Chains A and B, each alone.
Chain A
Amino acid sequence: MYNTDIITKVQNMKIIHCADIHLGSPMSSISDDEKRKERQSELRATFSRMASFAAAEGISAIIIAGDLFDRDRPFRRDRDFFLSTVKANPGVDFLYLRGNHDMDGVCEDFPANLKPFGSSWVSYSYGNINISGVELNVSNCSSVYSTYVADSEKYNIAVMHGQLCDKAGVCEIDRRRLSGRGIDYLALGHYHGYTEQALDSRCTAVYSGCPEGRGWDEPGDCGFVLIETSDSGISHKFIPFARRRFVIRRIDVSGCLDIHEVLGRINAAAEDDSLASPAGSDDMLRAELSGSPEFDTRNLSYETESLLRESFWNVNVKDLTKPPLILGDYENDLSLRGEFIRNVMKDTSYSDGERRRVIMAGLQALEGEEVEI
């Protein structure tokens, strides 16, 4: 909230800030073909829902801070979908800033409510809000900062796409050169998770994150940021809007006696709301199992995934467990087994993991068991 002494008091305005939609993303993190296609549809549906939400809530504009499409040359179907969504919501303006992933995206046939930014600062006004955006390229990535002009009688929102750091580049935004320029809200795209940080005493730089997670590297709540102006100033809040979330849990299954105990720990970890974003039945869960359970873990990941499939929309289990290595008193074991273990333990050419696996394989072979490492 800022000092509004000089800012014209007009009716409250609402603006949506979103970014990194990545329409056309292949969703390759999902192995199941049907679910992958469903997820692609959900990505589109979320964008459409967001537009409908904006129309229903009387939101003046949606800022798309880059990476609308997943490809430099988006597929026609993705482009047509975007344009049709824009046209279907004529009461909402779509302020489009191209990012590094959609540099050659929609260029022509703009509907009236689709307002692009360019390689120099372009501004659009809505009530007491002035929104200015610029697309960084090789030519302007250093010079844009000095050409920014804030409107002293309005709240100023700046829109850029890149990494906020201490240097300027095509994908780097120099925070020092934006500080103190009269910006109230810096709408950023590039990072796929919601974060915010103060740029100066007046400005907050916000990454809205992507509206739908596309892979395990985008866990947690996804959505957009709703910016509002009122008599007391400009404020913003994150609105979780995703259809589903990627949820990652690291679970130590040491001491588990059977797979059901492992499942119990996984479910407990998934439901634990002391951790961020407990996983629900509509979410996607990755369970990274570590430690040393007390039973045969040869098919642990496959069996666990099969048993959890009904509880979550998508499940991925990474088996990082290490079976207990029962070496016994190999120091004093005069048998071939003991000699073998001693020799391997003494061999410094192995890494710890390799040593463990060599010993396991050798012991299994000497025991007459099926060798599985």
Chain B
Amino acid sequence: MKLISCHIEGFGRYSDTDFSFEDGLNCFVRENGGGKTTLTAFLRAMLYGMDGYRCDARGFPDRMHYYPWGKGGNSAFGGNIVFEKDGSEYRIERFFGEKNAKDDRMTVYRNGFPCTELGECPGKTIFGLDSDSFARTVFFMCDDTAVESSEGINRALTGMLDVENGRPGAEEAASKLREKAYEIRAKSRKIGFACDVENEIFNIKNRLFNLKSIEDTLERRYALRSEYERSFDSLKAQKKQIETYNDWLSKKKVYEEKLAQKNASASKLDSIYAKYPEGIPDSDTCMTLSSAASLLPELRAKYASSEFPPDRLERLSILHNSYPQGFPKDSELEELGSIITDLGETEVKIGNTGFRSEDRLSALDEFFRDEGAPEPDEYEDMREEADLLLAREKTITETAARNPADTPEYKRLCEKFCTPVPADLTEKLDDEAKKYVDAENRLQQLITEVSGEEKKKFRISWIPVILMLLSVLLLGAGVILLLMQNPARVPVMIVGASLLVVSASAFGIDSWLQNRVKGSRDMELMSLASEKKKCSETILSSLADYSYFGDDPLSLLNSFKNERNRYLHLKTETEKCSVKLADLKAEADEIRTDIDEFLGYHGIQSALMTSQGLRSAIDRSEQIKNEYKRLCTEKSDSIAKLYVLNEHKKKLLSRRHTLLSRYGLSENCADSREALSRLVSLYNEFTALSAEQKEKAAKRQELSEQISETLSIISGLFSSFGFDCPEENGISAVIHSFSADRDAASALKNELSERELDCEKYRIANIPKEAPAEPDIGSAEADSRIDTVLRNISTLEREIEGCENEASLISGYEEKLREAEEKLRKLDEKRKILLCAADAIEGAERSIKEKYIAPIREKFSGYATKLGAVPGSAFSLDDDFNVSFEAAGAWHRDRSLSAGQQVCCSLALRMSLIESIYEYEKPFLIFDDPFSGLDTGRLEYALSLLKKLGKDYQILYFCCHESRAADNK
């Protein structure tokens, strides 16, 4: 590539200024402030642009530095450069904003046409270097003698286009990997995911330790629980012992109480026995005494009450005197009473007995009086008649339905055949029809023949044809023979000619015959047609009388015959139905008449009834008949009954008279009853008083005897037990005391034996031979201890449950621990992988660098040696292009070099890099007075180098003193 020219519109001190450049070394000697650096800065700005700045920017940015002087700032800030690359001429026109890079505008032309292939940063595209790398290689400024490479130079050297596409370089990739690794575990190994996992493991282990500690306590707790249970059992046993002892005490007390009660009962019994030296009267004795004693007052009271009262005695006397002849007998009174009652009942019966349906019977008698009531069979017959009538009526209905007389068809046919049809008409019409058909057939035949002959218009008779052919053959043969001069020619020709004549004649005769036949045929056709027409007219005219119209006589005749036959059939049917209907109706009427008569015999008017109602009417008539019979029977029964009642009444009246008159009682019904009842009551009273008197007397006697006997029993009993008989009013008390004492003694005796038994049983059951040991503690104390133990057990159970729950988590935590340890292992493994990958990337970068650094190193060595850049011969250039040299037995960095030596080193390195980077197309080099610090020797070396380089490179060399000018020639 070659810089051709540049035009500065406005850049620093330059305004509207042009420069042109030649191949090889272009030396520009300008005084200080001559614009050398401004020009180099312009060239750089054209290629790489300038950074914008803010108002508060520090330093002196190029945009501010090189803003155009003069013209009041009205000149454009920029210009253009023209250069050649890859055979094309490019022009970059670029103008800058005062401060903001966004105000810049650039246009690139290639061979006079705008192009965009150089991108937004033409310098980068042209040189393959960023601005910084450009400054470290192609662009050598006097104040920039750094001896180092840059990322852009490295990339350019290795051609790692991957980086150009935005991918990270080795350093970035390795850094990313290391960053990732340190996220897992930092270099300090104190932070990172792995550290978090380690913490987690630590926590899990702690938790496990705690859980296992808890689990370990379970054994102790189980043992403690067992101990508590044993203690509980012991306390329960103690409690039981206490209860047993207390129970024994209470039972003993009870036993002693029982004994005391027993002794008390014994002493009471003894005191009672002491009162009765002869023994206590037994219950029978006491009962006897008691009953006797209780009987006495009763007897005495009865005796006192058994006296017959005086007033009653007087009444008895009165009654006795009222009927000196005596009172009537019971039987007589009873009989009289029954007679009076019976009489009343009989009269009532007589009143109720009587026939009450006389009117009805009379009405019915009207029907049945003369001939009597019909028998049941007759009613059954009538029912059958009624059923038969219904059947007949149904048949009549069905027959009437089948009668064709009222059908439209029959009516239509009647209209058609209202005119009588002669008997022979059909025969005649048939004859005509036959003629018609014959004529038709013959006509068809003839027509067929004619049509066939017409088809064969050129019908050929075979005989004439054969003859014709033969004649032709013969004639032909004759000609041949003639030509051959055969003697047979003449006869042959004669025969042929003859045949020809014959065949012609045959044709003529045939034709004549055909015409003749045809003529006769035509005649026949005409006659047949005429006959046919005549027959048709005859038939049609005959049928027209019967309303048969049409063109086809045969079909009409056929229709006529069919309908005629149909008409006759229907007519016959109609007649039959009528006859049958008449018969049925007659029969039905007869049956109806019988039934109506029969019903009328019962007074039932059935003329207007329907046949369905007749049966129920017959039933009703039978009911009427039955009713009649029943009424007759009732009447005769009532008459007989009445007779019997009257007879009975007579008897009763007679007997009543006898009895009443005997005792002077009225015959009148009402008075006799009253008198009888009064008599009965007086009689009853007298009888009762007499009986009472007798009874009382007997009773008094009996009571007196009983009293004496009772007294003797009582005294005897008392004396047998050594007691004097007490006063009558005190006997009960004494007896009561006997009973009481006896009962008491008996009770005491029972009680005593029961108590003895009870004591014995109780003793056997509850009082052991040996008394139980007295417990050490009391029941309350034992209960208290038991409560305490139970509380302890309950608490312990809860603890055990809690511990078991905790212990059950151990497996889960162990699993978590395993997982965490595995996770940690994986993280560490991952970290190792990442670091290895980072190392491997850096190693790869170094190995790559090694590949391209070696030639650079060699070149640098050459240049540095020539320039005397480094003291001594022992120096090296590392992978990062750091120069080291050995001096005084130690290695030193390039910073230890002098300024001049650094310039030489920088030049050597730049040239080495440029030669390595630009293997094919050489860039132009810009040197902005870089050798101002060199000594004479080194300056000479440097200028000599420039001249040499000028053969291969276009160099723009700027200096401010002739002594440092380089001659290109």
Give A residues with C-beta under 8 Å from B: 24, 26, 28-29, 36, 73, 75-77, 334-337, 339-340, 342-344, 347, 350, 354, 357-359, 361-362, 365-368, 371, 373
Contact = CB atoms under 8 A, between A and B. Distances in A.
B173 A365 contact: yes
B833 A354 contact: yes
Given A340-B843, A368-B166, 16 more contacts: A28-B812, A335-B159, A335-B162, A336-B160, A336-B169, A336-B845, A339-B847, A339-B848, A343-B843, A354-B836, A361-B833, A361-B837, A362-B177, A366-B841, A367-B167, A371-B176
Interface in B151-186: 158-162, 166-170, 173-174, 176-177, 180
Contact of A340 (B166, B222, B841): B841
A336 B815 contact: no
A340 B840 contact: yes
Contact of B168 (A73, A76, A342, A365): A365
Contacts of A343: 840, 843-844, 847
Nearest to B163: A336
B8 interface: no
A336 B840 contact: no
A358 B829 CA distance: 11
A366 B848 contact: no
A350 B829 CA distance: 12
A212 to B, nearest CB: 16
B834 A371 contact: yes
B812 A361 contact: no
B192 to A, nearest CB: 15
B840 A75 contact: no
B118 to A, nearest CB: 25
B815 A28 contact: yes
B854 to A, nearest CB: 15
B158 A336 contact: yes
Contacts of A73: 218-219, 222
Given A28-B811, A75-B804, A343-B843, A336 B170 contact: yes
Contacts of B177: 361-362, 365, 371
18 contacts: A24-B808, A26-B810, A73-B219, A335-B158, A335-B161, A336-B844, A339-B844, A340-B840, A340-B844, A342-B844, A343-B840, A358-B837, A358-B840, A361-B837, A365-B176, A365-B838, A368-B168, A371-B176
Main secondary structure of the interface of B (DSSP, over half): helix
Most buried by B among A76, A334, A340: A340
B830 interface: yes
A299 to B, nearest CB: 16
Q: What 9 A-B pairs are tightest by C-beta distance, nearest first?
A: A26-B811, A340-B844, A365-B173, A361-B837, A339-B844, A362-B837, A28-B815, A75-B804, A28-B811
Contact of A362 (B159, B173, B814): B173
Contacts of A361: 177, 833-834, 837
Contacts, number: 99
A340 B812 CA distance: 44
B6 interface: no
Contacts of A29: 815
Nearest to B800: A76
B226 to A, nearest CB: 10
Contacts of B807: 75
Most buried by B among A344, A347, A371: A371
Most buried by A among B161, B804, B844: B844
Contact of A366 (B168, B804, B843): B168
Contact of B833 (A76, A358, A367): A358
A26 B167 contact: no
Contacts of A76: 800-801, 804
Chain B interface size, as a band, is 35 or more
A298 to B, nearest CB: 13
Contacts of B840: 340, 343-344, 347, 358, 362
Nearest to B155: A336
Main secondary structure of the interface of A (DSSP, over half): helix
B679 to A, nearest CB: 99
Nearest to A365: B173
Given A28-B815, A343-B843, A366 B808 contact: no
Interface string B810-841: 11101100000000000000100110111011
B232 to A, nearest CB: 15
Contacts of A335: 158-162
B837 A337 contact: no
A365 B168 CA distance: 8
B222 to A, nearest CB: 7
Contacts of B815: 28-29
A156 B160 CA distance: 84
Interface string B549-577: 00000000000000000000000000000
Nearest to B176: A365
Given A73-B222, A76-B800, A373 B162 contact: no
Contacts of A337: 162
A357 to B, nearest CB: 5
A359 B173 CA distance: 13
B195 to A, nearest CB: 20
Contact of B841 (A24, A77, A336): A336
B287 to A, nearest CB: 68
B223 to A, nearest CB: 11
Most buried by B among A28, A339, A359: A339
A343 B173 CA distance: 16
Contacts of B222: 73
A24 B808 CA distance: 8
Nearest to A356: B833
B830 A373 contact: yes
Nearest to A29: B815
A154 B158 CA distance: 92
B837 A26 contact: no
Nearest to B166: A368
A46 B174 CA distance: 58
Contacts of A336: 158, 160, 162, 169-170, 841, 844-845, 848
Contacts of B845: 336, 339
Nearest to B847: A339
Nearest to B170: A336
Interface string B734-776: 0000000000000000000000000000000000000000000
A316 to B, nearest CB: 13
A77 B180 CA distance: 50
A359 B532 CA distance: 125
B680 to A, nearest CB: 94
Interface in B789-806: 800-801, 804
B128 to A, nearest CB: 16
B586 to A, nearest CB: 93
Contacts of B218: 73
A73 B226 CA distance: 14
A373 B830 CA distance: 7
B844 A77 contact: no
Contacts of B168: 365-366, 368
A365 B812 contact: no
A143 to B, nearest CB: 31
A139 B212 CA distance: 30
Given A336-B162, A343-B847, A366 B834 contact: no
Contacts of B838: 362, 365
B162 A366 contact: yes
A343 B837 CA distance: 11
Most buried by A among B158, B161, B166: B158
A366 B645 CA distance: 152
A350 B841 CA distance: 15
Contacts of B173: 362, 365-366, 368
A121 B446 CA distance: 135
Interface string B929-967: 000000000000000000000000000000000000000
A336 B162 CA distance: 9
A345 to B, nearest CB: 10
A75 B808 contact: yes
A106 to B, nearest CB: 13
